[in-house]
Every structure is written in C-alpha cells, then in structure tokens.
Amino acid sequence: MSIDLTGIDGLNEDQSAKLTALFDIEIGGLKNKVDELIGEKRNVQQGSSEKDQVIDDARKAAVAAEESRLVESGRYKEALELREKETTAAIAQANESASTAKEALTSRDRGDVMNGVMGLIHDDHQWNSRAMLENMLEVGYNDQQQLTTVFKHNGEVVASSVSEFNGWAGEQESFKRIMKGVDSSGAGTTQTSGGSAATINTTQNKLSQRLKAKGL
C-alpha cells in the first residue's frame, strides 16, 4: 500500500518521495505487527485444540489398553462394561457438540431475521419495539434443514417471512405508528416531513424485494 503525495502544494518532488517512503515504512511495520498478532492468536487457538486432542487420544488409548488387559485375563464382562461406558460417553459428547453447533446456528439465523425486521421499524421506535418483535418471532428448520420463520401475534400466526410481516404490520393500527413510511392515519403516509407517499411506497417495495431475495 502506498500514498500519492504528488500535486500537494508546498511539496517538491524530492520531499514527496521521502514522505512516501516514510509512509510505506510505517504502514509496512504496522501491517507486519498486525499479521504477527493474528498469527499468535491462531497459534494459541491451534495449540489449545491440539492439546485437547492429545489428552483425548491418551484417554482413549488408556481405555483401549485396559479393555485389552481385561479380555486377556478372561474378564469379559468387565471389558464389555468398559466398552459400553466408553460408547455412552462418546455419544453424549457428540450430542453436546451437535447441540452447541445448532444453538450457534439458530442464534445467527435469528439475528439475521431480526435485523431484517428492525430495518422496517422507524428510528424513533427502535429502542422500545425490539423486545416485543423478538417475542413474536420463532425460527426453526424443516426436514431439509432450511430456515423457517414464523411471526405470531396474540397466539396466531400472522406471517412466515419478514416481507409478509411488513405487509401485515402495515395494516395493523397498533403497528402503523412504529413502521417506516406508515403512521396512525394509514399505510403509505410518511412519518417525516418532506417525503411523498409515492416515494415511501417505492422505498418499501424495494426493501420487500431485497428481503424476498434473501429468503426473509
């Protein structure tokens, strides 16, 4: 990365060249330091993961050795119990990992949907409407592991996507006052001065199209 200082009043060609070289040295040093810090962080994470793997491998090796010793000494029942205990532990660990991964995925997807919903809300009502809207939203996954969204109001399903919610909320008296481009007098009227109904409708249509394109 370099900086172009040519054309700056008060700097001759030689001064520009020296300042450019100095800039390149400073930026290069900063970039190297950032790369170094990133590398150190990755090494720590990798080292921690490798350490955990070594411990797990050692434990499995110890269990396998104990199982072999029991079999060689004819203590088959104890060997079988040890194997069953190890299998149960492995299944529990796998289930825990799967549950953690699913929770992370659900949290991410729910956050993406909520960001889409909050994009429909007027700035003046962002702070006092998020909790209510989060309570309305339910996310899940179908048999194909595709994201599903449901919005409920008073226990009834009112929308299955952000764009559907936008259409539904724009027709509800209790929601009109918090929606962008809509006020208590009806859909299509602006909450801010200087904007026309046609401009607001065009903006809403574009937003709905973008949300549909994202599957929200």
Mean pLDDT for the stretch of residues 195-216:
55
Q: How confident is the model at residue 13 (pLDDT cuts 50, 70, 90)?
A: low
* 11-15, 89-93, 177-181, 202-206: least confident range: 202-206
**Could you report the per-residue pLDDT of 29-42, keeping only the tens digit for each?**
555 655 666 666 66
Mean pLDDT for the stretch of residues 170-199:
62
Nearest to 190 by CA among 171, 173, 207, 203: 203
pLDDT > 70: percent of the chain: 60
Quick check: is 94 in a domain? no
Mean pLDDT for the stretch of residues 3-18:
56
Quick check: is 104 in a domain? no
Quick check: is 82 in a domain? no
Q: Model's pTM, two decimal places?
A: 0.50
- Is the domain of 63 the same as that of 132? no
Q: How confident is the model at residue 22 (pLDDT cuts 50, 70, 90)?
A: low
Note the pLDDT of residue 107. Answer: 92
**Could you report the per-residue pLDDT of 111-147, keeping only the tens digit for each?**
999 999 999 999 989 989 999 999 999 999 988 889 9
**Could you report the per-residue pLDDT of 51-82, keeping only the tens digit for each?**
677 777 777 777 788 778 877 888 878 878 87
Q: What burial class does residue 105 get, using C-beta atoms within 10 Å of its C-beta: 0-12 exposed, 13-18 middle, 19+ buried?
A: middle
- Is the domain of 118 the same as that of 70? no
- Is the domain of 116 the same as that of 209? yes
- Maximum Cα interatomic distance, the chain, rounded to a whole number of Å: 94
Q: How far apart are the first and last CA of the chain?
A: 39
Note the pLDDT of residue 56. Answer: 74
Quick check: is 25 in a domain? yes
Following CA atoms 149, 94, 91, 102 in sequence, which dihedral angle do they give, to the nearest 10 degrees?
Answer: -10
In total, how many domains does the chain have? 2
Q: Is the pLDDT of residue 101 over 50?
A: yes
- Is the domain of 65 the same as that of 124? no
- Residue 11 falls in which region: left (phi positive, over 0), alpha (psi -120 to 50) or beta: beta
Domain that holds residue 64: 13-74
